[in-house]
Amino acid sequence: MFRYYLGLGLYSLRRNPALTALMIVLIGAGVASSMITFAALRAITADPLPAKSAQLFVPQIDNFGPVNGTPDGEPPLMLSYIDTMALLRAHRAEREAALYPVRFSLVPAEVTHAPFTVQGYAVTGDTFAMFGVPFLYGSDWSKKDDTEGSNALVISRRLNEKIFDGVNSIGRTVRLDDHDYRVVGVANDWNPQPRFYANADIHDVSEVGEAPDFFLPFARAVNQQMTSRWGNFCPADDYSKDSDWPAMLQSECVWISFWVQLPTAAVVQRYREFLDGYAAEQQRVGRFHWAPNNRLHNLLPWLDYVHAVPEETHVSFLLALGLQLVCLVNTIGLLLAKFMRRRGEIGVRRALGASRRAIYAQFLTEAGMIGVVGGALGLPLTIFGVSSMGSFFEPRVARLVHVDVSLLGLTLLTAIVATVIAALYPTWRAAQVQPAWQLKAN
Amino acid sequence: MASLQIRPILAALRHHRGATALIVLQIALTLGIVCNALFIIQQRLEHIARPTGIDEANIAVIHNQWIGKYTTAQMDAMTLSDLAALQRLPGVADAYDDYTYPAVGPMAQLSSVRYTRDQPKKTSYAEPYYADDHALSTLGLRLIAGRNFRADEIMVVGDADTQMPPVIIITSDLAERLFPRQTVVGRVVYLGDTPSTIIGVIAHLQVPAIGTHSFAYCAVLLPRRNANFFNNGSYYIVRAQPGQLDAVIRAAPRALLKLNRMRVLDEAGGMQRYSDLREIGYLRDRGMTLLLSMICAVLLAATVGGVVGLSSFWVSQRQKQIGIRRALGATRSDILRYFQAENFLIVSFGVVLGMVLAFALSITLMKYYELPRLPLYYLPIGALLLWLLGQLAVLGPALRAAAVPPVVATRSV
């Protein structure tokens, strides 16, 4: 029976080629526009660390207060050195990572090679295990390296290929600015996007999402007085602090990203209480002149909180969905016209014994065929749109977007389902046709 | 004549309630989406068109980072000899060193301006440039009042130096916010804990950060030089004499490397035209404009297509009635006008519903994203657009209807 309906549908679609073509183009264009924008949205809102994200949290402590803080009363996104060290010493989380971005000039051993800039992070030792950084060679640095701030260095696979031709470089030396560092590990392609872990770096468009070139011990960077590549944010009443590094470390300026790993809800709750207790203690000793105002965001809500996803991506997806809705309404109208033109045929079929069910089956099959062809047209449009993503979205978003089987499958599925849904009302109207009335009219 | 036809049109539409409702809905959705999309496009275009206030066509920028550990004073001496070398290059009008560059700069500092030291809330936000006595001439900025910095006023600073300079130059926009319609030169404001006297006022100059809207022209020139701003190095900004920019862009990196090789110039390998940097900075806005324009175009095309399709269907369905009307004396233009009036009526229903939808969508967008409210004048513009497109779409089917000969009335079927 299905084959018979397919035949009928094909015949009917060929009878008004212009109308059929119009519907196919509408469905193709509609589904492609929403799929292109969806691909961008999907890429940028994807969980950057699916295996770990549920356990990763960002503590925020309000050390700015209501006068110096933001108008909406949210605490700073990063921590001061005082609070960072206090949280590390208290060690209330399973794992903790303090980090900040730094930049060096790398001077190659061969004098003929020009120096170039490398960017990376000063991190505490837990960072590698906490974020699941895989190693190609070697491993992370020792506990001793971490606390003493030795010249241990973990470099990226890309940097290893650039300066060591990709060989096992453990124990080799890298000269960053005017200091030598000893390679202890080569990280294997670790580059979660967006760069969630670098609280102030999420919006950084200048480095179009390349993996960090290196990691060095946090204590080393602090001992060497390396400033954060992103500068620091100071409350206005702390500007007058003496202009030396030890004073900066004791100031309320915030410049350190801090992450904790909390495995269960109960542990999260305990950590919240710990933060509030800490802030209350700071208030008691006179450092804070306001009630505790802390936050503890999980990774995905955190990305929302810092607006890591550019609003263009959302707005354009929303408007593209609107476009698809219009195309759908349009298809309903055109299908209605098409089906109602065949009242006579329906009347004859009904009079010859076809049930309403049969009418439904016939017309929905026909709609499905339009959906398949419309979806097939949508496929190249989607592929074309995604491949020219660079002209619609900023490079940081565009480079994440790609066509895969699931996107193409979704394109086809959306086209078919949407068309069949659009056909429900016209089909219902077709099934309501009274055979006797139609026969009489003819 | 047309007004007389409204009653029969309404009667006919009542017979096709389903189809009519679908077209009305479609027109309404189209209007709602197109109005909001056009509004976003217009805002982005305005954003892109904002003037920087500098001599864009003749300016180029190169990033410099020293390799090795130097004291602030050593690094500044190196920077000064770089600047001298750049200023000596043939074709160069002037050059200075800054931690960022105008409008699409990679970095910006947010400062707040206060009238007094102890004032709890800021009077205005501002974003500083680190300028010297060559900055105004390099950027091509015009002093409206007061004077330029003197060479001896320039403070050489490191990252930890937060002391605000005793003299500053501000833009006329910031001046107007701080001291509306008053003399500004000689007034004292606080950017930190120490007072700064305003010694000069310049015309328009955009702040470094591209996303700034509410204080986009509230720039402050601080007489400061920092050759390694938070380990990010600094930017040499160079203005060439007219027609000399390309020659300067080729010569400058070579001259700098000849002076000292222990440095990293831009990863891209050299100096970039300011106009190119500005273009890159606005890619995001341009992309959004392009994407929304395409969505609008497809949307309007889809609506026109839909109207053509349904009108054609109605015309073919009413062949017999049209024939009867023609036989009873209706002229071709009567038939034409009937379908045009019908379309106008349907689009009007859609427009009314669409205005409500446009507003609802605007409020939703405002709630979740940083978008201002849709200005009212978009509604009549959108309505006019849809009326025109509706008439355009119905013209073909209506002409075909008008061409139906009266003899059709006499045929069965």
Provide the pLDDT confidence category of residue B143 given band limits of 50, 70 and 90.
Answer: very high
How far is it, in rounded angstroms, from Cα B337 to Cα B152?
81
| A215 burial via Cβ count (<10 Å: 0-12, 13-18, 19+) | buried
If you average pLDDT over residues A112-117, what whole number do you get?
77
> Each residue of B36-78: pLDDT tens digit?
999 999 999 998 999 999 999 999 999 998 887 788 889 999 9
A52/B contact by beta carbon, under 8 A? no
Which tokens in the block code for residue A121? 């992070």
If you average pLDDT over residues B384-407, what whole number do you get?
91
Residues of chain B with Cβ-Cβ distance to A377 below 8 Å are none
Residue at token pair 């300016």: B59
**A174: enclosing H helix or E strand:** strand A173-176
Residues of chain B with Cβ-Cβ distance to A245 below 8 Å are 160
Residue B232 or B353, more confident: B353
pLDDT for A70 equals 76
pLDDT for A207 equals 44
If you average pLDDT over residues B103-119, what whole number do you get?
87
Q: For residue B188, count other CB atoms closer than 10 A to its CB.
A: 12
User: Is the confidence at residue B288, as pLDDT, over 50?
Assistant: yes
Strand partners, B236: B62, B97
Percent of chain A with pLDDT over 90: 39
User: Is the confidence at residue A121, as pLDDT, over 90?
Assistant: yes
Residues of chain A with Cβ-Cβ distance to B160 below 8 Å are 243-245, 247-248
A226/B contact by beta carbon, under 8 A? yes
Query: In this complex, do A226 and B231 lie within 8 Å of one another by their Cβ atoms?
Result: yes
If you average pLDDT over residues A5-12, what whole number do you get?
80
Provide the pLDDT confidence category of residue B358 given band limits of 50, 70 and 90.
Answer: very high
Q: DSSP states of A329-394 as a string?
A: HHHHHHHHHHHHTTHHHHHHHHHTT--HHHHHHHHHHHHHHHHHHHHHHHHHHHHHHHHTGGGTS-
User: Is the confidence at residue B340, as pLDDT, over 80?
Assistant: yes
Pairing relation of β-strands B59-66 and B263-265?
antiparallel
Please count the helices (runs of H) and the strands (runs of E) in chain A. 17, 11
How far is it, in rounded angstroms, from Cα A49 to Cα A43?
13
If you average pLDDT over residues A31-45, what whole number do you get?
88
> Each residue of B176-185: pLDDT tens digit?
999 999 999 9
CB A248 within 8 A of CB A232: yes
Calculate how close chain A gets to B403, using CA atoms only, in Å.
20
B315/A contact by beta carbon, under 8 A? no
Strand partners, B238: B60, B95
User: Is the confidence at residue B254, as pLDDT, over 80?
Assistant: yes
User: Is the confidence at residue A302, as pLDDT, over 70?
Assistant: yes
Which tokens in the block code for residue A287? 């450092």
User: Which of A74-88, A233-247, B296-310, B395-409 has the least mean pLDDT?
Assistant: A233-247
Q: For residue B214, count other CB atoms closer than 10 A to its CB.
A: 7
Instruction: Tell me the backbone φ, ψ of residue B170, rounded to 5 degrees.
Output: -125, 165
A336/B contact by beta carbon, under 8 A? yes
Q: How many CB pairs under 8 A join A and B?
A: 181
Q: Which of A218, A203, A276, A186 is nearest to A96 (CA)?
A: A218
User: Is the confidence at residue A141, as pLDDT, over 70?
Assistant: yes
Query: In this complex, do A243 and B32 lie within 8 Å of one another by their Cβ atoms?
Result: no
Provide the pLDDT confidence category of residue A242 given band limits of 50, 70 and 90.
Answer: very low
Strand partners, B197: B167, B188
B106/A contact by beta carbon, under 8 A? yes
Query: In this complex, do B302 and A310 lie within 8 Å of one another by their Cβ atoms?
Result: no
Q: Which of A311, A304, A302, A313 is nearest to A401 (CA)?
A: A313
A325/B contact by beta carbon, under 8 A? yes
How far is it, in rounded angstroms, from Cα A256 to Cα B211?
24
User: Is the confidence at residue A284, as pLDDT, over 80?
Assistant: yes
A22/B contact by beta carbon, under 8 A? yes
Domain extent listing, chain A: 2-47+310-441, 63-261
How far is it, in rounded angstroms, from Cα A137 to Cα B44?
48
- The nearest alpha carbon in chain A to B304 belongs to A330
Query: In this complex, do A395 and B26 lie within 8 Å of one another by their Cβ atoms?
Result: no
Query: In this complex, do B283 and A392 lie within 8 Å of one another by their Cβ atoms?
Result: no
> Each residue of A158-213: pLDDT tens digit?
999 988 988 999 999 998 888 899 999 999 988 887 788 876 655 544 344 678 89
B395/A contact by beta carbon, under 8 A? no
Question: What is the CA B241 to chain-centroid distance, rounded?
Answer: 29
Pairing relation of β-strands B188-190 and B143-146?
unpaired
Query: In this complex, do A26 and B36 lie within 8 Å of one another by their Cβ atoms?
Result: no
Which tokens in the block code for residue B31? 């209007």
Calculate how close chain A gets to B110, using CA atoms only, in Å.
9
Pairing relation of β-strands A116-123 and A214-217?
parallel
> Each residue of A60-106: pLDDT tens digit?
999 888 877 777 888 988 999 999 999 999 999 899 999 998 888 88
Provide the pLDDT confidence category of residue B389 given band limits of 50, 70 and 90.
Answer: very high
Query: In this complex, do B112 and A236 lie within 8 Å of one another by their Cβ atoms?
Result: yes
Torsion sign over Cα B30, B35, B39, B45: positive
Residue B123 or A398, more confident: B123
How far is it, in rounded angstroms, from Cα B389 to Cα A265?
58
- The nearest alpha carbon in chain B to A324 belongs to B299
> Each residue of B115-133: pLDDT tens digit?
998 888 888 999 999 999 9
How far is it, in rounded angstroms, from Cα A100 to Cα B240?
38
Q: Within 13 Å, how many C-alpha atoms sit on residue B391's CB side?
A: 9
Residues of chain A with Cβ-Cβ distance to B294 below 8 Å are 33
Q: Average model confidence (pLDDT) for chain B?
A: 89
Residues of chain B with Cβ-Cβ distance to A236 below 8 Å are 112, 192
Question: What is the CA B93 to chain-centroid distance, rounded?
Answer: 31
User: Is the confidence at residue A350, as pLDDT, over 50?
Assistant: yes
Pairing relation of β-strands B111-113 and A135-138?
unpaired
Query: In this complex, do A327 and B106 lie within 8 Å of one another by their Cβ atoms?
Result: no
Torsion sign over Cα A368, A369, A372, A378: negative
A267/B contact by beta carbon, under 8 A? no
Q: With a cut of 0.85, is the ipTM above it?
A: no
pLDDT for A205 equals 41
Query: In this complex, do A231 and B26 lie within 8 Å of one another by their Cβ atoms?
Result: no
